[in-house]
Amino acid sequence: MMVSFRYLQRACVPAAFAVVGLGGLAVACGQGAAPGRSTLFDDGDSGAGGGPASGDGGSDGAEPIFTDAGVGPQGDAGDGCPESAKLVYVTGVGNQLWSFKPPSTFKLIGTMNCLASPTHMTVDRQGSAWVVSSGLLYKASTVDATCAQVPTWKPNGNFSDFSLTFVGNSNSPDPSLYILNDFAGLARFDTVAGSVSAIGNVSVAQTLGDMTSNGDGTLYYLNDVFNPVLYNFSPSSAATIKSYAIAANGGGAQALAFWGGSFYAFENSVIYQFDPKQSTTTKLGSAPLTVTGAGQSTCVPQVAPPPG
């Protein structure tokens, strides 16, 4: 089995799951990149999976301004969700932020110069990405990759690395960010008050992987093992609702997102599409980077729109 990239990034191993504070952590900044270019990934082989198993970040140097709508201008599609909130986003080696419109289109947004070595990501319904790096939490524009540290998040020894997702479908800003650490501890982070409330331990011994939601009010977690398993957890109790076997080669850098009725698992740069209704896994091809974080808002379509 390959060693998880996020395991190598983990800053410490807590003795128990509890809410504690630590001192500040310093992070280095990444290098800039030319945003705005699109690419189609290389075609890959397909396979069938099993059924249930039990631009520069602100090239002018300006400081981004936080508002309830996110970092920087996001636009409005007239339905409460900006167009930027209806795509999947990925990040990874090089701190670049890319949009991904399944099944094959990637576009470089820019480089998040406020952070280094991102490990997890999600997106809110206002079109802002929430990115984990070195135990800190950052908020980035999905329009131009400008970003800044989330001031209400304080370094926490029990969450030196964590997957994260929103689950609500209200168009108002959602303060409930669900976070899952590497030791099965599920908690809720109040993004306004800055408090972390423990929920419980999920039924996975060592949670190296990624979490997302499909907008149904529950949590989905892909466990980073050689034969990955997708778990459906309750956000109120951490109980397992259902699990699925995914026919993918796990054990590397991993990320998870949802779009159009399917889950998209990123293993290093390889992309797998999992259809939970058909219990099938399809190997799609390769992303333009090694992906360590992926996510989407609950604004994304629940059913894949017609091609074109």
In a domain, 23, yes or no: no
**Quick check: pTM over 0.95?**
no
CA distances from 117 to 25, 46, 82, 305 (A): 13, 31, 28, 34
pLDDT of residue 227: 84
In a domain, 137, yes or no: yes
Mean pLDDT calculated for residue range 67-78:
41
pLDDT > 70 fraction of the chain, expressed in percent and rounded: 73
Alpha-carbon gap, residue 25 to 198, rounded angstroms: 23
213-219: long-range contacts (C-beta < 8 A, 24 or more apart)?
213/165, 213/166, 213/167, 213/258, 213/298, 214/258, 214/263, 214/298, 214/302, 215/167, 215/169, 215/258, 215/298, 215/300, 215/302, 217/167, 217/168, 217/169, 218/167, 219/165, 219/167, 219/178, 219/180, 219/186
Pick from 34-38, 129-133, 168-172: least confident: 34-38
In a domain, 56, yes or no: yes
For 38, the enclosing helix (H) or strand (E) is: strand 38-40
In a domain, 248, yes or no: yes
Task: Assess whether pLDDT exceeds 60 at residue 25.
Answer: no
When divided into structural domains, the chain yields a total of 1
For residue 271, give every residue at least 6 positions away whose Cβ sits within 8 Å of its Cβ, in sequence order, or none: 41, 44, 264, 265, 283, 284, 285, 286, 287
In a domain, 207, yes or no: yes
Task: Assess whether pLDDT exceeds 90 at residue 70.
Answer: no
Structural domain span for residue 154: 5-12+35-60+79-295
pLDDT per position as a tens digit, 190-248: 999 999 999 999 998 666 799 999 988 999 999 988 888 999 999 999 999 999 999 98
pLDDT per position as a tens digit, 103-141: 999 999 999 999 999 999 999 999 999 999 999 999 999
Task: Assess whether pLDDT exceeds 90 at residue 94.
Answer: yes
In a domain, 96, yes or no: yes
Give the gyration radius of the chain's Cα atoms: 18
168, 219 Cβ separation under 8 angstroms: no
pLDDT of residue 138: 98
Task: Assess whether pLDDT exceeds 60 at residue 11.
Answer: no
Quote the tokens at residue 140: 């980035």
In a domain, 184, yes or no: yes
Pick from 132-141, 225-234, 262-271, 277-286: least confident: 225-234
| CATH code assigned at 130 | 2.120.10.30
In a domain, 83, yes or no: yes
Q: What is the dihedral of CA 180, 251, 130, 195, to 10 degrees?
A: 20
